[in-house]
Structure 1
Amino acid sequence: MKITALYVYPIKGLRGIELSSAQVGPRGIRHDRHFMLFQVHPATGELKKVQVDSHPRCALFEQRFASDAPGDDGSTIIVRYLGDLAGESGATDEDGSLRVPLEPDISSLEKIEVVLHGSSTAAYRMGDPYDTWFSHRFGFRAILVFLGDGRRAVLGKTLPPKPTPERQQQNQGWITSLVSYITGAQRSSEMEGPWLTFADVAPLLVTSESSLKDVRDRLLGGRPVEMYKFRPNVVVDGEGEEPWAEDFWAELAITPGRAEHGDSTVRNTLLLTGNCLRCTSLNVDYQTGKPAVDETGQVLKKLMKDRRVDSGSKWSPVFGRYAFLGGSGREGFTVSVGDKAEVTRRNTERSVWDWPGL
């Protein structure tokens, strides 16, 4: 198999950025989901996450990196709203787009607590002009939040990788260094193990084109549905594998597929530990920012016919696998479109969903 696409979502919920190559680390692809939008209840001030399933208009926000220096992957995100707007508001570029620094100075930002799927973290409000810009386009009071030095715990029993004693010993020095770098403090027991950005339940999501083809051909009668609707990070072609074979994938080895990447014998691994349970975001039309009115607005319903294969969440269909960085790549690696991907370990039974409250 080969990797055919890579995606990153600096601001969670908005359109992804397609990459030709990416740096993958313990928290996933670099810059992935370090920002998040919330709707503020006008009376109580309660925060509600803004994502495609609950706020289809998210599909109309395009984001891309802006390079401020040659060879840099971009120190700024440029966000552009593709929908109709009566008037402009906030500090924007000439075309109405918004520039968001990828690494804002948190020293002057308001610190708040964010709870996502029961896993909480400290985070930082970006404030204006960002809040005003998004509020004007969504039509409600919205705030933009930056993760900064925050971190979310992985909950449940089946999603985190369970290292062997040998691998745990190998990782000990790396984990200590990582924690010291981030917090400037000595490692405590609660810091052991993987932790997350604003990604839902794992750093990475892997999907297969062969399974998407089955959705198109068998469930939608040949009607197009694009992979970006499934919001993956890593897409493989699935060549040599049956559709939905990824349900049983436990480990994926990635080998540089081009000479400039160096030693072709080097293998970096991803541990595939849980199924991705799907929601109504699949039904959104990315051209209108609303649920699709044709057959593509029934993607979730179609998947429910025979893809409710996880006994831990019997009502939700499965498409794709959540992944963590494997032991051989614990310090991170570069992955590119065209790299080879090989299943090096398979489960004999499907994973069972286990995340408290989800």
Structure 2
Amino acid sequence: MSYIVTELYIYPIKSLAGIAVSSAKAQEMGFENDRRWMLIDQNNELITQREHPNLSQFYPEINEGKITISHQDSTHEFFMDEHIEKPIFSKVWDDDTQVVEISKLTSQWFSDALGFSCKLVKILNNGDRKHSSSRLNQTLNVSLADAFPYLLIGSKSLEFLNERLEEKVSIKRFRPNIVISSLTAHEEDFFDTFQIGNVQFKNAKPCGRCVMVNNNPATAKVAKEPLKTLSTYRTSNNNVYFGTNIFCLNEGIIAVGDVVNF
């Protein structure tokens, strides 16, 4: 049996809902348009589902150079290249990050929808955020994702977890970029270098998970699962692991149905 790409996702705005795509352009920072935008508060600190689970109820769509956001009975759209020139200095966890605000109008729409003052910002350039990996002994140019540009999950890992859960969960809980058909649970942790389409990827490290996976993306209801069950068999060094972080060695297009070659 071959390993085959079964699903691809991008998350244009960090911590908002994702978009399933049939193909995507792999770039150093991550898939094109993946986590190039994020919300920040009045102190220029990032806003995520960890504190605001209802961010999962904001649904982006990309069409003809615009992003349209739907939330409850309201929608808002902005041009993908729209921004105010003045740089803003923020952080994504420990990484210094330079971003720009999209517009006062867009920031106001999100502020009204969330009930507190915030701004929608964008990372413009390769290198505006760098992430240093002690494990890899190298520094990567990354998007506004938590740490690494891509998250890969094998199908058997989810099956293995769901066999242990009373209420099954979907892969969307774990916000992967690439889902592949796999042979055994968590074998993706041990991948080294591999190729999809004409793009070479390299494994960085298994992905440590946080409470965000307990937020049901369909309802924004937070429970104790699946992290509670995962922690019983996937804990190491005080982290609970699911999926693996990867980065690409060259640019190119990958698509659902592509074979993974080692």
Category of TM-score, reference length = shorter chain: over 0.9
1:159 Cα shift?
A: 4.2
Gaps of 5+ in 1: 41-45, 68-74, 83-94, 163-192, 256-266, 345-358
2:247 is matched by which residue type in structure 1?
Answer: F
Name the counterpart of 1:157. 134
Name the counterpart of 2:101. 125
C-alpha separation between the residues in 2 aligned to 1:284 and 1:216? Answer: 16
**Any runs of at least 4 consecutive aligned residues in structure 1 with deviations exceeding 4 A, and if so which?**
none
1:286 Cα shift?
A: 2.2
1:6 and 2:24 correspond: no
1:215 is matched by which residue type in structure 2?
Answer: L
1:111 touches 1:124 (CA, 8 Å); kept in 2? yes
Q: What percentage of residue pairs aligned between the two structures are identical?
A: 27
Name the counterpart of 2:36. 34
1:106-149 alpha-carbon deviations (Å, 9 max, x no partner): 4x433210111211122112232111111111111111111113
Name the counterpart of 1:225. 169
2:221 is aligned, of 283, 290, 297, to: 290
1:125 is matched by which residue type in structure 2?
Answer: E
CA RMSD of aligned residues (A): 1.7
1:159 touches 1:202 (CA, 8 Å); kept in 2? no
1:126 is matched by which residue type in structure 2?
Answer: I
C-alpha separation between the residues in 1 aligned to 2:11 and 2:35? Answer: 5
Counterparts of residues 346-357 of structure 1 (less than 5 Å): none
1:257-288 alpha-carbon deviations (Å, 9 max, x no partner): xxxxxxxxxx4311011111101111112233
**If each structure's helix is expressed as a fraction of its own residues, which one has the higher value?**
1
1:101 Cα shift?
A: 1.6
1:48 Cα shift?
A: 3.2
Name the counterpart of 2:123. 147
1:234 and 2:178 correspond: yes
Counterparts of residues 213-292 of structure 1 (less than 5 Å): 213-217=159-163, 219-221=164-166, 223-238=167-182, 241-255=183-197, 267-292=198-223
Name the counterpart of 1:341. 260
C-alpha separation between the residues in 2 aligned to 1:208 and 1:151? Answer: 31
C-alpha separation between the residues in 1 aligned to 2:23 and 2:169? Answer: 24
C-alpha separation between the residues in 2 aligned to 1:250 and 1:53? Answer: 30
SS in 1 for 2:97: strand
1:17 Cα shift?
A: 0.6
C-alpha separation between the residues in 1 aligned to 2:78 and 2:242? Answer: 32
Larger Rg: 1
Name the counterpart of 2:232. 305
1:266-314 alpha-carbon deviations (Å, 9 max, x no partner): x43110111111011111122332314xxxx4211111111013xxxx2
Gaps of 5+ in 2: none
Name the counterpart of 1:351. none
Counterparts of residues 80-99 of structure 1 (less than 5 Å): 80-82=70-72, 96-99=74-77
1:109 touches 1:126 (CA, 8 Å); kept in 2? no
Name the counterpart of 2:245. 322
1:187-238 alpha-carbon deviations (Å, 9 max, x no partner): xxxxxx5311111211111111110011101x204x3201111011111011
1:208 touches 1:237 (CA, 8 Å); kept in 2? yes
2:185 is matched by which residue type in structure 1?
Answer: P
2:147 is matched by which residue type in structure 1?
Answer: V
1:81 is matched by which residue type in structure 2?
Answer: H
1:63 touches 1:79 (CA, 8 Å); kept in 2? yes
1:58 is aligned, of 52, 55, 59, to: 55
2:19 touches 2:60 (CA, 8 Å); kept in 1? yes
SS in 1 for 2:132: coil
1:78 and 2:78 correspond: no
SS in 2 for 1:205: strand
